[in-house]
Amino acid sequence: MTPEEIRSEILDILDDISPDEDLDSLDDDKPFREQLELDSMDFLDIVMELRKRHRVQIPEEDYGNLASMQSTVTYLEPKMKDL
């Protein structure tokens, strides 16, 4: 997957988790938690959706890499390059 495809996939997952959020104004460099009403369970839902949809395993110690859209795409790009 390209970075653009990964970003689109994350937006799709975020839309499923928080359908009332305005994702069009999302700043890729700001942490999700500063921009969206996400709690720790929502964050785990993101991780679980990535696992379910793409079989991407994200170890708990790497969760910090998923703080913002940019860091998430950067982290996932090598894991999803062959998808």
Please check whether residue 73 is in contact with residue 6, taking contact to mean a CB–CB distance below 8 angstroms. yes
Give how many domains the chain has, as a whole number.
Answer: 1
The pLDDT value recorded for residue 83 is: 76
70 burial level (CB within 10 Å; 0-12, 13-18, 19+): middle
Q: Specify the CATH number for the domain of residue 9.
A: 1.10.1200.10
Domain around 60:
3-18+27-80
Query: CA-to-CA distance for 42 and 36, rounded, in angstroms?
Result: 10
Is 80 exceeded by the pLDDT of residue 40?
yes
Residue 42 has pLDDT above 80, yes or no: yes
Portion of the chain with pLDDT greater than 90, in percent: 92
Whether 60 shows a pLDDT value over 80: the answer reads: yes
Amino acid at site 6: I
pLDDT band with cut points at 50, 70 and 90 for residue 82:
confident
